[in-house]
Amino acid sequence: MQFFYVLLAFLALLAVCDLFIGVSNDAVNFLNSAIGSRIAKMRTILLVASAGVLLGATFSSGMMTIARSGVMHPQYFAFATVMFVFLAVMVTDVLLINAFNMLGLPTSTTVSIIFELFGAATVAALWTLTEKGGEASSFVSYINTAKALAMISAILISVMVAFISGVLVQYLARLIFTFHYEGAYRKFGGLLGGFCLTAICYFLVMKGAAGSSFMRPEWISWIEIHTRTILWTLFGAFTVFFYFLIWCFRVNIFRIIILTGTFALAFAFAGNDLVNFVGVPIAALDSVRYYLAAQAPSPSSFMMSDLLRPDQANTGLLLLSGFIMVITLWTSRKAMRVVETSVKLSSSQGGEHELFGASGPARIIVRGALMAGDALKRIIPGKVQAVLASRFIPRELHAGENPLPFDHIRATINLVLSSILIASATSLQLPLSTTYVTFMVAMGSSFADGAWDRETAVYRISGVLAVVSGWFITAFSAFTLAALLCALLLWGGIPAACVLMTAAAFVLIRSNLRKAADVSAVKTVISGDCETIRQTLNDAAPIYFSRAVDIYGDMISSFFSDDESSLKNLKSQASTMFDALSDQRRRFYDMEKFGRNSRHLDRDARWCYFRVFSSLRETGRSLQALSIATRDHIANRHRIFEGELKKNLTYLARELQNSARLGDNPHAPLSIAAQEASRITATIDRMQEDLLSSIGPQKLSLRGCELYLDYLQFARDLVARAHSTAVLLKELNDRADASLVGRRVDPQNPPS
Q: State which residue, 408 or 617, has the beta carbon closest to other proteins.
A: 617
Residue 647 binds to other proteins (criterion: CB under 8 A): no
Nearer to other proteins, 174 or 735 (CB): 735
Interaction pattern, residues 601-620, with other proteins; x per rule: CB under 8 A: ---x--xx-xx--xx-xx--
- Asked if residues 663 and 669 have their Cβ atoms less than 8 Å apart, the reply is yes
Binding mask 302-341 for other proteins (x = CB under 8 A): ----------------------------------------
User: Smaller CB distance to other proteins: residue 263 or 708?
Assistant: 708
Helices and strands (DSSP H and E) totals, the chain: 24, 0
The only residue of 186, 638, 654, 743 in contact with other proteins, by rule CB under 8 A:
638
Buried-state track 370-395, b at ≥16 Cβ within 10 A, e below 16: eeeeeeeeeeeeeeeeeeeeeeeeee
* 501-504 long-range Cβ contacts below 8 angstroms, 24+ apart: 501/7, 501/10, 501/87, 501/91, 503/91, 503/95, 504/14, 504/90, 504/91, 504/94, 504/95
Among 294, 308, 370, 509, binds other proteins (CB under 8 A): 370
Q: Is 500 exposed, middle or buried (0-12, 13-18, 19+ CB in 10 A)?
A: buried
Scanning residues 676 to 705, which ones bind other proteins (CB under 8 A)? 678, 681-682, 685, 688-689, 692-693, 695-697, 701-705
d(CA 441, CA 422): 11
What are the beta bridge partners of residue 303?
78
Q: Which of 433, 608, 632 is nearest to 534 (CA)?
A: 608
Q: Which is nearer to other proteins, 69 or 462 (CB)?
A: 462
Q: Which stretch binds other proteins (CB under 8 A): 57-65, 156-164, 205-213, 722-730?
A: 722-730
The residue type at 272: N
Quote the least distance from Cβ 592 to other proteins, whole Å. 5
**Residue 675 within binding range of other proteins, rule CB under 8 A:** no
Name the DSSP letter for residue 68.
I
Q: How many other CB atoms are found less than 10 A from the CB of residue 314?
A: 15
Pattern of binders to other proteins over 66-105, x per CB under 8 A? Answer: ----------------------------------------
Verify binding: residue 531, other proteins, rule CB under 8 A.
no
Piece of 177-185, 400-408, 443-451, 716-724 that binds other proteins (CB under 8 A): 716-724
Which one among 716, 737, 738, 739 touches other proteins, defined by CB under 8 A? 716
Q: If binding is defined by CB under 8 A, does position 667 make contact with other proteins?
A: no
Distance CA 718, CA 580 (A): 18
User: Please, which residue, 344 or 703, has the CB nearer to other proteins?
Assistant: 703
- 143 φ, ψ to 5°? -105, 140
If the CB atoms of residues 275 and 736 are measured against other proteins, the closer one turns out to be 736
Binding mask 733-752 for other proteins (x = CB under 8 A): --------------xx-x--
Give the C-alpha separation, 537 to 585, whole Å: 11
DSSP 240-281: HHHHHIIIII---HHHHHHHHHHHHHHHHHHHHHHIIIIIHH
Q: Enumerate the β-bridge partners of residue 72.
A: 143
Separation of first and last alpha carbons in the chain:
88
CB 105, min distance to other proteins, A: 22
Number of residues that bind other proteins (CB under 8 A): 64
Binding positions for other proteins, rule: CB under 8 A: 350-352, 358, 363, 366-367, 370, 453-455, 457-459, 586, 589, 592-593, 596, 600, 604, 607-608, 610-611, 614-615, 617-618, 632, 635-639, 678, 681-682, 685, 688-689, 692-693, 695-697, 701-705, 709, 716-717, 719-721, 724, 727-728, 731, 747-748, 750
